[in-house]
Structure 1
Amino acid sequence: MADSQDVQDLVGDSFKWLELVKPLEPGVIPGSNESLKQARRLLTRKNATMSEFSYALVEDTKRRVTDKNPIVACASIHRVRAYYGKVKLFFGKPELIATDPEYRNRGLVRKLLYEMIHRI
């Protein structure tokens, strides 16, 4: 719960190029993606499919002393209920996977998915 603001900022900043309605002027970098920043509500206890325990995070502890977001990668698991005939199934699907652009191509998401979420 204490990291919910940092997770929200990471997700919004990681996907700032998505859903751009109008073309940008050359050299203009868009701001944070506000629609994806709503992910913070998924970290509250008021959500039926996720909780604060449904997230795996990678934190760069050296960034805590700077003004930069210390959370550099995240992945969450979304709890899903389904039926196959009369058989009730529960499974999880990865959601809200994000990596800070400075930390991409280092295998952080692969590590999160394989070592933390895949084992659930």
Structure 2
Amino acid sequence: MTLPEKTKHTHPHDLGNNLIVRPSSQADTEALLQLVDSVFGAMMEEAGGTHMTHLVRRVMSGTHPSMRPDDFILVEDTNRTERQIVGCTGLLHHTWHYETIPFSVGRPEVIATYPEYRHQGLIRALFVTMHARSKSRGHQVQAITGIPYFYRLFDYEYALELWNTCTIDIERLPSVMHHLPTEYSLRDATSEDIPVIQKLYEEQRCRGMISQIIDKSWWRHQIQTWQTEKPEQNINSHVQMIGCADEVKGYLITSSPQVKRYIQVWDLQLEVRFLS
């Protein structure tokens, strides 16, 4: 996808008490990683390696297809000499369709504050600035996933069903499943598979009222980072091709099986001619 032009609203905003709200830059990478790892590591008991940490690292490197290094809004405590970034929220750029009508969407993600800075209105200040930035970049809608009910405090309302996934407990899978046909196989997707994946995704997407446009750059990012990153660092979906007799029949998208005790199946799409 093509990211929108950089916003002109880049001036810091003084909150008082040595706190300012400002946009991020690549120079903030380490301080931002410290914040995200501390907050999400405590939540997930994965200090030093949360999925959010790896997402932030990828964004700040400039390689993420939907977010840039200047797409975080930060709260900085100018009175601290260490860990000066004390709050943050990021902004992903999406294009969705309402049936055949495209519209642009800003999606807040990676929202965090240090515990000692909570209940001071920092998240509200971050959202006010983030919403202004989202509007300045042409987003017609903001959509968020996260803590149930919490984001109603910031004018969000429930609108769409989420997490239409299947969760599989790896420990409950039998080592051999004799009753399944053996002619089907799975293999990791490659960049050469993107045209087929794109075609199948578009066929599925067009059947829904609300859908997200996913272009080749997003598929390429998912596939290439899966191939090059260590399993414990891989936050990307695992894209696999479903084949039979050397013929591609569809694709399967799951979470990483290496880092959890379960697999979440995000998407399964087959060629229409193979569904009968």
Match of 1:105 in 2: 119
**8 Å Cα contact 1:75/1:112 also seen in 2:** yes
Within 2, Cα distance between the matches of 1:62 and 1:75?
Answer: 21
Q: Which amino acid is the alignment partner of residue 39 of structure 2?
A: S
**8 Å Cα contact 1:63/1:70 also seen in 2:** yes
Within 2, Cα distance between the matches of 1:63 and 1:79?
Answer: 32
**8 Å Cα contact 1:14/1:100 also seen in 2:** yes
Q: Secondary structure at the match of 1:37?
A: helix
Q: Which amino acid is the alignment partner of residue 53 of structure 2?
A: K
Match of 1:45 in 2: 62
**CA positional deviation for 1:89:** 1.4
Q: Structure 1 residue 86 and structure 2 residue 100: aligned?
A: yes
**8 Å Cα contact 1:18/1:33 also seen in 2:** no
**8 Å Cα contact 1:77/1:93 also seen in 2:** yes
Higher alpha-carbon Rg: 2
Match of 2:198 in 1: none
Structure 1 moving runs of 4+ over 6 Å: none
Within 2, Cα distance between the matches of 1:53 and 1:104?
Answer: 24
**8 Å Cα contact 2:40/2:50 also seen in 1:** no
**CA positional deviation for 1:14:** 1.0
TM-score (norm 2): 0.37
Within 2, Cα distance between the matches of 1:8 and 1:105?
Answer: 22
1:1-120 equivalence runs, <5 A = 1-20=26-45, 31-32=47-48, 34-38=50-54, 39-64=56-81, 68-114=82-128, 116-119=129-132, 120=135
Q: Structure with the greater relative contact order (CA < 8 A, sep ≥ 6): 1 or 2?
A: 1
Q: Secondary structure at the match of 1:43?
A: helix
**CA positional deviation for 1:87:** 1.3
**8 Å Cα contact 1:13/1:33 also seen in 2:** no
Within 2, Cα distance between the matches of 1:45 and 1:31?
Answer: 24
State the percentage of identical aligned residues. 31
Question: How many correspondences in the alignment?
Answer: 107
**8 Å Cα contact 2:90/2:109 also seen in 1:** yes
| Structure 1 residue runs without a partner (length 5+) | 21-29
TM-score (norm 1): 0.80
Within 1, Cα distance between the matches of 2:70 and 2:47?
Answer: 29
Cα RMSD (Å): 1.7
